[in-house]
Chains A and B, each alone.
Chain A
Amino acid sequence: MPLNYISHKENQALNAILAEGLNNGALALSEMLNKNIQIKTPDTKVIKLRDLPNLLGGAEIIVTGIFLRFQEGLNLNAFDISTGISGSILILFSVDKAFEITSILLSSVDYTPAIDPKMIFESALGEVGNITGSAVLNTISDKLKIPINPSPPAVVTDMAGSLLESVAATSLIEDNEIILIDTCFINESREIKGHFILLPDSKESILEILNKLGAANND
C-alpha cells in the first residue's frame, strides 16, 4: 500500500532513496566490522502503526527497538517536533535476533568481568541503529542538499505495543501511517530479520522531502 497522500511516482522515488540509504548503511557496517554485511530490502510498505503489533505477534510480545529522532538543521540539541523535515526512526528486532546481531558485532571482543552485559548489548545495538539510521538520513540529506541530523540512539527491550505507541506519540499524522521496510541483515550464511520504521512528524515533512527530491532530480 502506498502513502495515500503522495503519487505513485513519488512513492517510487521514496522507495529508491530508502533502499539506497539502507545499502549505504550495510556498507558502513561492513567497513566498521571488517565483515561482509549486506542488507536485503524488500519493498517499502505503508501501514497504520496500530496494525503493526499484530504483524509482530501482539502488543505484549517483547522486542528490542533502536530509536532515533531526526531533524533538519544543525542544532543538535533540539530534537523536538518542529517545522521542516523531522521525524522518528525505529529499528525493531526480536530479542533473539538482537542478541545474534550483538554476537556478530562483538565476535572479536573478549569478555571481562568489568563489562556490564546489558550495557554492551545496548551500545552494540545502538551502534547498528546509529550507522543504519545515519546512512539513510545522509542519503536523503545528500540528495536534498540540506543537513538532516540524527539524535543519539536509544535502545529499549520491552513490549512491542509500548515501543510503537511511544513512537506514534511523536507524530501528528492522523492514523500514524508509517513507512515500514522489512529488512534482513546478512552476514555470510546468517540472515537476521528486522523491521526499519520511518515515521515523519507531519505530512508536510514527507512532502517537503519529496518536493526537494523532485527539484534535486531536475537539476
Chain B
Amino acid sequence: MTEMVISVGLGEVHVSKDPSVVLAAHGLGSCIGLLAYDPIHKIGGLAHILLPDSTIIKVCDNKGKFADTAIPYLIELMKGQGAIQINLMIKIAGGAQMFAVPGMNSKMNIGEKNIIAVKRALSQVNLKIKAEEVGGHTGRTVKLFVKDGTSLIRTAGLNEKVF
C-alpha cells in the first residue's frame, strides 16, 4: 500500500479514515500537534494548534488555530467520520520555547501556554492524554498512521521514534 503523507499546516485540522494516509505536522515549535485516534473504527485526526485562546480576537474564523476551539472541532470532525469520543486516544507534541530572549516577559512563552490550554480543553471533554512530548527548546515533527494508529516523533538531527 502506498502511503500518502498529508501535511497539516499551521492552524489546520485534518481527519481521515483512509488507511493509506499518514497525517503529519512538520516542524512544530511553540505549536501543539494533537493526534487523536479511534482504534475501533481506525479513524485518525491531527490538529496543528498555534495559540491557546480564541477569545483574544473579536471574530474567530479559524477554529483550528486555537486550543479552546480546535479540540471540540477535531472531535466533531472525527465523529462525523464515525468515531466514538470515548474511544479516542490522544497524544500531544510541541509547545517548545524556541526563542528564549533574555529579559523577555515570561508571558511570551506561548509554548507553555499552549500546553496548559490544550490540557485544559482536553479535560473539559473528559479525554486523557496517552502520550506527550512537550516543552523544551527543540522543534518536532509528528506523524500518525491512520491504518493502525502508530505515531512517530522526530526532533532535529535525531531519528524518528515511536511515541
Contact = CB atoms under 8 A, between A and B. Distances in A.
Nearest to B139: A162
B105 A79 contact: yes
A150 B140 CA distance: 28
A39 interface: no
- The main secondary structure of chain B at its interface with chain A is loop
A69 B104 contact: yes
A47 to B, nearest CB: 13
A59 B99 CA distance: 17
A151 interface: yes
Contacts of A59: 7, 26-27, 141
A161 B101 contact: no
Interface stretch (B36-44, B68-76, B77-85, B107-115): B107-115
A154 B101 contact: yes
Interface string B121-155: 00000000000000001111100000000000000
A164 B98 CA distance: 10
A216 interface: no
B102 A152 contact: yes
A165 B31 contact: yes
Nearest to B100: A154
B108 A152 contact: no
Contacts of B62: 174
Contact of B108 (A53, A68, A80, A164): A80
A191 B156 CA distance: 27
Given A69-B101, A152-B103, A165 B27 contact: yes
Contacts of A67: 98-99, 101
B51 A169 contact: yes
Interface in A160-219: 160-166, 168-170, 172, 174, 176
Contacts of B108: 69, 79-81, 170
A60 interface: yes
A165 B29 contact: yes
Interface of A: 49-50, 53, 58-60, 62, 65, 67-69, 76-81, 151-154, 156-166, 168-170, 172, 174, 176
Interface of B: 7, 9-10, 26-31, 50-51, 56-57, 61-62, 96-105, 107-108, 110-111, 114, 137-141, 156-157
What 6 A-B pairs are tightest by C-beta distance, nearest first? A161-B27, A162-B139, A162-B29, A59-B27, A159-B139, A59-B26
Given A80-B108, A159-B27, 11 more contacts: A59-B141, A69-B108, A80-B105, A160-B27, A161-B27, A161-B28, A162-B29, A162-B98, A163-B99, A165-B50, A166-B110
